[in-house]
Amino acid sequence: MSQSDLDEELSLEVGEIARLLSYILFLLVSAGMFFAAGDIPTSRFEKLGAGAFPQFVFAGIFLICAIAIVLTVPKIPARAYGQLFNQAILWARKCYLVFVCLAALGVYLVAMPWLGFSLASLIFLFGLQMALLPRSLNTIFIAAIVAVVFSYGLNMLFADIFTVFLPKGVF
C-alpha cells in the first residue's frame, strides 16, 4: 500500500470519528432539550402538555443518534482513535488564530459592561488587528484609526441618529 493510500484511509477513519463525535454531541443536546421541554408550562386546555411534541421530536433525535452511534463504532479501527488526537493537535496549531479571535471576543464580551461599548470596542478592535495584521508603522496607524472610528463612531451614530444608547460602563 502506498503512502497516499494510507493517508486517504487515515483521513476516512478520522472522518468517521468526527462523525461519531457529532452523533454523540447531538445525542447529548437532544437529551438535554428533551428534559428542558418537560419544563414548558402547560395550560388547562392541554392534556399532554405544551412540551409533549418537543419531547417527542427530541426523543426521536436521541433514538436516531443512538442507532447511528451503535452502527458507527464497529466501522472504526482502534488505531484511528489515537490518530484523531494527533490530527486535532495539528489542526489546532495550524488554526491558532481562530482561538486567538475567540479568546479576544470572550474578553471583549466580559469587559464591555465595565469598560463600556466604546472603550471595550477600541481595545478589542485594536488588539485583534495587532494580532492579525503584519506590524509596521503604517499598519499600526491604520489599525488605530479603524479602531477609533468603529468604536467611538458607531457609538455616536447609534446615540445621535438612532437614539439607541450602547452600554456606557463604569469608566
Q: Tell me the pTM.
A: 0.60
pLDDT in tens, 125-171: 999 999 999 999 999 999 999 999 999 999 999 999 999 999 998 87
Centre a 10 Å sphere on the Cβ of residue 40 and count the other Cβ atoms it contains. 13
Sort residue 165 into left (φ over 0), alpha (ψ -120 to 50) or beta.
beta
The residue ranges of every structural domain in the chain are 3-93, 96-160
11 pLDDT above the threshold of 70: no
Looking up cell 452523533 gives 23
